[in-house]
Structure 1
Amino acid sequence: MAAATGNDNDNGFDNQLKPESEPATVNLSPPLSKNAQKKQLKQQRYEAKKAEKKAQEKEQKRKEGERKHKEWEETLANATEEERLKLIESRKSLRKERMDKRWEEKEKKMERLNRAKEVGQKIVVDVDFAHLMSDSEISSLVQQIMYCYAVNGRSTSPCHLWLTGVQGKMSAELDKLPGFEKWFIEKESNCYIQAMADQKDDLVYLTADSDTVLDDLDPKHIYIIGGLVDRNRFKGITMTKAQEQGIKTAKLPIGEYLKMSSSQVLTVNQVLEILVKFLETRDWKTAFFTVIPQRKRTGLDPVGSSKLEPLSEEHQEEDADADKHDHLERKKVCVEVPLESSS
């Protein structure tokens, strides 16, 4: 995509060479409703506040580094020559130990991801909706994808992760991520229907509107998560897309294990993390209660099933961590949530 420059029309020739009948660019995206405009404004305020907080944390980290460096210099200054040598050697030893541990963890991670590429469960994040989203919404989705990649990399049973429909603004934003070109992930500019044409019968789109409940993950199937901001503007879009393409659909069995609260929106990374957690445990309840924050569920069984039990202390701690660290969820980068009952 060509970049615009500030001096394109300095001599006026460019305008003279353009044909008068040149068609204007048509924006196919539906206009934002008042409610959507309010959400967008709220999102912009949140981004500004987050940037300010990030700058404060960076400054605090810098000051903390200076304080520790000063303490270290004072410790060395007050030590004898023999003590100073021992302190320096000890510090070098600890640093080498940390680096060796990081390298070992990295090697193990790459081994897991390499194996996942060969025999792992294929999961696709469909980012072919960028033309429907604003710049800020695309940016939010990119951050969700970044979190997906991190979650998958930490997993003991990672999936074979794909990104399809990576082009235009979405591609440009992803390329801005540090080290994205080295990500251990499949990146396709085409839609999955073209990229996986020989496996069309194995494609399964996860959507809330499906009548099929997903009881298990079939290693032969390829599960698709739709990345779309503000689902309310495009209700049923993933289901319609799957039907037009003639591929199977399914929804997660969330309704069999818990009842969602008034907010029935899960982020892309939450859906991916649920699937990855299920691959680790083969237990839907553990996956749901580990990933879905308490504020999004009532904790009550909606159908009187005996599958639902009180939260264990371990799950309560994990849930508290989810509420504390799941700030990315507030960006409302969402998918058609594969709930038991669709909206």
Structure 2
Amino acid sequence: MDTEAPPVQPVENTLISCPGTTPGTPLSKNQLKKQRKLAEQIEFRKLRRVKERERRKEKRADAKSKGLPLSVGPSRKELKRRQVSAIGQPNAADAISVAIDLNYDDLMQERDIAKCVKQCLRIYTINRRAALPLRLHFTGIKRDGHIHECLKKNDGWENWHVNYHFDCTHSEVFEKQQLVYLTCESDTVLDKPLPGHTYVIGGLVDHNHFKGLCHQRAISAGLATARLPLSEHVDMKTRSVLSTFHVFELLTRVAAGQDWTQAILETIPQRKGAKAKESNTTIAKEEQLEPCEQQLELVEEKQPSTES
């Protein structure tokens, strides 16, 4: 009796076994680095959102304990009042001004210009919500240039409480003796924003392609320069180069009376891994221990001697 041949099992075609297909090459070191960086950014976003939720809960709990409305921040009417009062100060010599230098229109690509304008929007929001708003100026805007056209895409931008300066730089608007250009290459450390001075921040998004350009322009124009005291107060894993709106936020915090260490830790992104300097912590502890040590010395002096 003839036996039937077993049925032929169909061959499953995969991407590798298909004819004319070459196996994929392993990822390069650069691609692996990008993947790790993307994963870290996603993780930092989650942590940042959790931290933001905790801040909102603390603000609401504090407002509830004080019998205040449970709104997260001040009303729009209060924000507008702060901004108007900051701009309309009667004594201009006592005001602290900040100028965002936008005279880099031709050096940025289209996507970088969009990022630059987005940072300007964020700066306006930070200043509007600051406890002590600063006088904000946007200088060096080329009329009908790339930055100007990008600003026009935002409805109502003309009504912002910002001083716009078209086709003129900060050197043409303010006296040179009052200008201080903030650059990380400067040898001078900014101790504290001083009234009557205008601090210039370069509005350049270049991904480090034009390193030191803001500093070179400031020196060529004969302006004073300064850098933020980042390395004096915190240790960071990455470079101490900050975004334009981070520099502006630090200035608003310190101008309102916050110390540098706390302002830096609350402003810069977590990915930079900033930690307070141990020397600063040690000095603070020593200052707290000094009164205690003095009291112990007084007690020892009052105690009778047991020596024969």
TM-score, structure 1 length as denominator? 0.56
| Residue type at the aligned position of 2:125 | A
Whose radius of gyration is greater, 1 or 2? 2
C-alpha change, 1:188 and 1:104, in structure 2 (3 Å) is closer
From 154, 160, 167, the equivalent of 2:135 is 160
Give the corresponding residue for 1:97: none
Is 1:192 aligned to residue 166 of structure 2?
A: no
Q: How many residues align?
A: 213
Structure 2: how far apart are the matches of 1:239 and 1:251? 10
1:125–1:164 contact (8 Å) kept in structure 2: yes
Give the corresponding residue for 2:177: 201
2:86–2:134 contact (8 Å) kept in structure 1: no
Is 1:115 aligned to residue 92 of structure 2?
A: no
C-alpha change, 1:285 and 1:174, in structure 2 (3 Å) is same
Aligned to 1:220, the other structure's residue is in SS state coil
| 5+ long unaligned stretches in structure 2 | 1-29, 35-74, 286-308
Structure 1: how far apart are the matches of 2:87 and 2:251? 16
Structure 1: how far apart are the matches of 2:154 and 2:115? 13
Structure 1: how far apart are the matches of 2:96 and 2:82? 19
2:95–2:196 contact (8 Å) kept in structure 1: no
Per the TM alignment, residue 280 of structure 1 is displaced from its structure 2 partner at its CA by 1.2
Give the corresponding residue for 1:219: 195
Per the TM alignment, residue 103 of structure 1 is displaced from its structure 2 partner at its CA by 3.6
Structure 2: how far apart are the matches of 1:105 and 1:250? 30
1:214-247 deviation per Cα after TM superposition (whole angstroms, max 9, x unaligned): 1111112211000111242111101110111001
1:60-94 deviation per Cα after TM superposition (whole angstroms, max 9, x unaligned): xxxxxxxxxxxxxxxxxxxxxxxxxxxxxxxxxxx
C-alpha change, 1:136 and 1:297, in structure 2 (3 Å) is same
Structure 2: how far apart are the matches of 1:241 and 1:231? 18
C-alpha change, 1:191 and 1:307, in structure 2 (3 Å) is farther
C-alpha change, 1:193 and 1:231, in structure 2 (3 Å) is farther
* Identical residues among aligned pairs (%): 33
From 252, 256, 261, the equivalent of 2:237 is 261
C-alpha change, 1:213 and 1:105, in structure 2 (3 Å) is closer
Aligned to 1:214, the other structure's residue is in SS state coil
2:192–2:255 contact (8 Å) kept in structure 1: no
1:238-272 deviation per Cα after TM superposition (whole angstroms, max 9, x unaligned): 11101110010000111111012225331111110
C-alpha change, 1:297 and 1:125, in structure 2 (3 Å) is same
Higher helix share: 1
Is 1:233 aligned to residue 209 of structure 2?
A: yes
| Residue type at the aligned position of 1:266 | L
Structure 2: how far apart are the matches of 1:125 and 1:256? 25
| 5+ long unaligned stretches in structure 1 | 1-34, 40-100, 311-343
2:185–2:215 contact (8 Å) kept in structure 1: yes
Give the corresponding residue for 2:249: 273
Per the TM alignment, residue 289 of structure 1 is displaced from its structure 2 partner at its CA by 1.3
Between 139-148 and 252-261, the greater mean CA deviation after superposition: 252-261
C-alpha change, 1:103 and 1:210, in structure 2 (3 Å) is closer
C-alpha change, 1:207 and 1:286, in structure 2 (3 Å) is same
1:116–1:158 contact (8 Å) kept in structure 2: no
From 150, 170, 190, the equivalent of 2:147 is 170
1:44-75 deviation per Cα after TM superposition (whole angstroms, max 9, x unaligned): xxxxxxxxxxxxxxxxxxxxxxxxxxxxxxxx
Is 1:182 aligned to residue 159 of structure 2?
A: yes
Per the TM alignment, residue 140 of structure 1 is displaced from its structure 2 partner at its CA by 0.6
Structure 2: how far apart are the matches of 1:295 and 1:176? 31
Structure 2: how far apart are the matches of 1:260 and 1:123? 26
> Equivalent residues in 2 for 1:12-27 (5 A)?
none
Aligned to 1:187, the other structure's residue is in SS state strand
Give the corresponding residue for 2:302: none
1:164–1:188 contact (8 Å) kept in structure 2: yes
C-alpha change, 1:231 and 1:243, in structure 2 (3 Å) is farther
Structure 2: how far apart are the matches of 1:308 and 1:230? 39
